[in-house]
Structure 1
Amino acid sequence: MTAYKSYRNNTKTKYNIMKRRDFVKASSLAGLGLMIPSNPLDVLHNLNIDGKNYQFPKGFLWGVASAAAQVESRQGRARTDWDVFADWSGQIEDGSINDKCTEFETRYEDEIKLLSNAGIQAFRFSMSWARIQPDGSGKPSEKGLETYDRIIDTMLKHNIQPIVTMEHTDCPIWVGDFRYRDMSQRMADYADIVTKRYGDRVKQWIVMNEPNTTALEGYGVGKYAPGVKSIKALGAAIHHQNLAMALMISASRANLPATSKVGTTINVQPVRGNKDTPDYRKAIDFMDAVWNRAFMNPIYGKKDYCDVVKPMAAPFVQAGDMETLYASNPDFLGLNYYTAYYVKPDPASPVGIAQDMPPAKYPRTAYFPVVTDGLVETLERIHNDYGAPEILISETGFAFNDPAPVNGVVNDPERIKYISEYLKAVHAAIKKGIKVSGLMYWSSTDNWEWSHGFTKRFGLIHVDPKTQIRTPKSSLAYLGKCAKANTALEPNK
């Protein structure tokens, strides 16, 4: 019996999706090359270095990413935890709120056309739970469901593979939060709804995004929604999110064909310090435990919580929970990697540590330092310590203070330079036998970057905040050329 079977047996809502199935047949999906290969990682014979460009395996997926809470407006959905946090916390850097963002839910077609024309093959996006179930548990909103029907169908029309993240950090107010166990069950119900509706067209699914960020930043230090500062809440959020992921994976598999893939996304990072002292080593071990091992160990390593995390999570673990986590067996790991995490001891922090500046040797963008060796270290650690899973790099990207558009394009050579560096690091990992199946650049457009508001511009597409007009950047053309050639090109090529 699957972990979700009792839920599934009690679900009575049925959906008429025959028209959507007809759409898939009409679009000749397999002929477009959008189906996920049975094993996209086994064709390495063409992995050659010609001295300049770096060939990737056949089937390597080149894409972009976004999140509903950062690109969709508030129109047509219920209020979320991030709406409340943005409105009342006073912690949004530029004082903005997420009321409009980039209005993706109505302007998606212009964006998808730009991506398709450039050669982008996949779009990892998230669905807003608050749009699909605005009025609470029970029957979902048909209007909300149809929003994502249109988005998915438009991607397929333009030869772009949709990769869906079910929950990307924001949740409707009515579900509560991760201090409470029933949140996990409600998320499983939500996974059941969306996979039934869209499983005929979406072949790759991510159940949650960065549960480690949500746990530490949202429940430990209070910098993200819901703004809680508590070790106890941190422990609850760790375990209840792990349980939610396992139940969501189980619920999804009950609805999806065997050819579909279901995984989750974790922001795995090397944790480092600028000093080698006992208090720094303790801070590093704590951060690595709550950031990396708390989520990688049970879901991917089939191991109990480590010694640092176990006392925090223990009050919330019930009989059979760990077995449920071990049995989840995700098909792949979505890895979000931007940089290494430098920490220092901080007695004033609710968790006893604080983020520190990395060494000056690493170049800085407008946000994160560029730590290429950390990407290599992370890929090797996942491969060696967690059973060599398939890895989809579900996010990586670089924020810059880009110039204004000139003649219909934004020139951003620095972004191209660092995309190239990270791609070459991924290529080197593949040469070592690490199974990396694709890379999704964060993000498709400049958008609302959580507590930083609109101050951090990661996008391959510039968005005018007044007119919402999309203008491509030169980095979009670069990534599109890489996708077409299936190589990491030199930046000047």
Structure 2
Amino acid sequence: MSSIIQSAITDTTVTSSHHLPTVARSDFPSNFVWGCSTSSFQIEGGADLDGRVPSIWDSFCQQAGKIRDGSNALVACDHYHRWPEDLDIAKQLGMNAYRFSIAWPRIITEIGGAPNQRGLDFYSRLVDGMLERGLQPWATLYHWDLPQYLQDIGGWENRATIDAYLAYADAVTRRLGDRVKNWITHNEPWCTAMHGNWDGMHAPGQKNFKAALQVAHHVMVSHGLAVPMIRANVTDAHVGIALSLHPLRAASQSEEDQEAMQRHDGLRNRWFLDPLFGRGYPLDIQAHCAEFLPEIRLGDLDAIATPVDFLGVNYYFPETIAAAAENPPLHTRLRELAGRERTGFGWEVAPDGMRELLYRITQDYPAVPIYLTENGSSYDDQLEADGSVNDSQRRDYFIRHLDALKRARQQGVDVRGYFAWSLIDNFEWAEGYLRRFGMVYVDFATQARTLKQSGQWFCDFLNRSNK
């Protein structure tokens, strides 16, 4: 087994301009899940190997101006070939779980096609590799890489994609369900719908609010219909969904800004949480967006409300909302307040927002176990001449957010696991390779992996006391 930890940064003394809290693994239960998250399109590469067909993101990358640095993910981190090394790193860090996603274009390569055995074989080997290293597999079925052949007939806007998703999910869970017990149906349906179909920042790049709401509905219906199917295919299945959720602040105390915040909350958070927990779509947003509402068939809302075994929460930052007459249909806009600490991506660093969000979920919705399925930060990391990457800001970010997680648990929030985003630097969607979120630095020219200071801290945190 290769190791990048022994030769990495040895001085893990915490020095920071912030007053850092004290957090230890012993602050959490012994059965707490500690993992890292990745996604197939962002790390795998191998874009034309073993029968894989293009995804909407392959097509998006080919469009001029869509990816900030003009790059693509044809190679990415070459995880398709280097997965043993990457899993070794996760094990050496002290993780006991590994969240990954499965590339739909590797599994079903044409409309109505039979499962591609070479694609299934790859993930079977990957899962075996996790288990050999003591890593509990957490599989995400959909992390945005829709096959292009489905987008050609309308993508998620076309209800036929629900059936295609169920056929894909059936094939995967039948093949891997003897070893994979933890399943996430979708990652961040808000991004699938809104970034992909409203603001056009993500593939397929559409700018149509009505289409976005229809996409969101079909994604959520596919989730609900997949849950019982996965349970039928997988003994002792543990099934949930990962939502991107944000605590919100109004830009001012004015009635206009307060109302704008409520509307934004309705679309950003409640549009997904409410139907998931059996309440249907928020009535205030339905009234405000009446002309854009999706087509909802009989039984759809019951399907979406199929009880889950857990809720995955992806937390990165809070949002500050102001009223805006020029931004229909919600008439809201994000406002960046001066003087706030930010990541290299420009996202506000607000650890207590995590605690606030988790507490709100437990107060507003029925009790369900929660897992932090993503949390992390991007900074402009540099590989130093001595081979180190001194990302003290990311290290501090982890310390402060784990403390917030500890405090959420002390308030009674049933949080059972934490997955750092991400194990390694990767292709960051529309940002290309300009943003680095990893605990491991990747030189994309050579594919060399170098543990960052944040990764060394996480290793020490997990291994200092594993009781």
In the alignment, which residue of structure 2 is the partner of 1:142?
Answer: 117
Q: Distance in 2 between matches of 1:469 and 1:348?
A: 47
Tell me the equivalent position of 1:256.
234
The answer to whether structure 1 residue 220 and structure 2 residue 198 are counterparts is yes
Task: Answer yes or no: is the 8 Å Cα contact 1:86–1:96 preserved in 2.
Answer: yes
DSSP 3-state at the match of 1:57: coil
How far 1:405 sits from its partner (Å)?
4.4
**Matched residues in 1 for 2:465 and 2:198: separation?**
41
Aligned-residue sequence identity (percent) comes to 32
SS in 2 for 1:178: helix
Does the aligned pair in 2 maintain the 1:221–1:349 contact within 8 Å? Answer: no
Q: Evaluate the alpha carbon distance shift between residue 353 and residue 334 of structure 1 in structure 2; reply closer, same or farther with a 3 A threshold.
A: same
Question: CA offsets per residue over residues 300-354 of structure 1, 9 Å max, x none?
Answer: x21011124433675410111112222x111001110011122334455464433
2:278 match: 302
1-structure distance, mates of 2:61, 2:407: 41
For 1:35, the equivalent position in structure 2 comes to none
Which of 38, 48, 52 aligns to 1:66? It is: 38
1:75 maps onto 2:52 in alignment = no
Show CA shifts across 1:431-450 (max 9, x none).
Answer: 12211111000011111111
Report the Cα distance in structure 2 between the residues aligned to 1:191 and 1:174, rounded to whole angstroms: 17
Give the deviation of 1:365 after TM superposition: 3.9
Partners of 2:230 and 2:237 within 8 A in 1: no
Q: Once structures 1 and 2 are overlaid, which stretch shifts more, 148-157 or 408-417? A: 408-417
Contact 2:217/2:294 (<8 A) preserved: no
CA distance in 2, matches of 1:139, 1:405: 49
Instruction: Go from structure 1 to structure 2 and tell me whether the alpha carbon gap of 1:372 and 1:357 turns closer, same or farther (over 3 Å shift).
Output: same
Which one of 371, 378, 392 corresponds to residue 413 of structure 1?
392
CA distance in 1, matches of 2:33, 2:436: 24
Which of the residues 211, 234, 240 maps onto 2:212?
234
Residue 277 of structure 1 aligns with an amino acid whose one-letter code is S
Letter in 2 for 1:430: R
The offset of 1:285, in angstroms, is 2.2
Separation in 2 of the partners of 1:175 and 1:425?
41
Separation (CA, whole Å) in 2 of partners of 1:68 and 1:312: 36
Letter of the 2:246 partner, please give it.
Answer: Q
Q: TM-score, normalised by structure 2?
A: 0.89
Q: CA shift at 1:398, angstroms?
A: 1.0
User: Which residue pairs with 2:260 in the alignment?
Assistant: 283
RMSD: 2.1
Give the structure 2 partner of residue 372 of structure 1.
Answer: 351
Unaligned runs of 5+ residues in structure 2 are 1-20
Q: Secondary structure at the match of 1:201?
A: coil
Partner of 2:11: none
- The 3-state SS of whatever aligns with 2:126 is helix
Cα 1:51–1:231, aligned 2, differ >3 Å: closer, same or farther?
A: closer
> Aligned to 1:197, which of 133, 153, 175?
175
Amino acid of the structure 2 residue aligned with 1:202: V
- Contact 1:220 1:350 (C-alpha < 8 Å) held by counterparts: no
SS of the residue corresponding to residue 117 of structure 1 reads: helix
Number of aligned pairs? 436
- Aligned position for 1:112: 87
Give 1:48-447 correspondences, 5 Å limit: 53=24, 55-73=27-45, 74-76=47-49, 77-88=52-63, 90-176=65-151, 177-257=155-235, 259-299=236-276, 301-310=277-286, 311=290, 314-326=293-305, 328-349=306-327, 351=329, 352-447=331-426
* SS of corresponding position for 1:254: helix
Tell me, in whole angstroms, the C-alpha distance in 1 between the residues paired with 2:48 and 2:100: 18
Rounded Cα–Cα distance in structure 2 between residues aligned with 1:204 and 1:347? 44
Give the deviation of 1:162 after TM superposition.
Answer: 1.3
Q: Distance in 2 between matches of 1:313 and 1:245?
A: 22
- Asked whether the 8 Å contact 1:235–1:312 carries over to 2, the reply is no
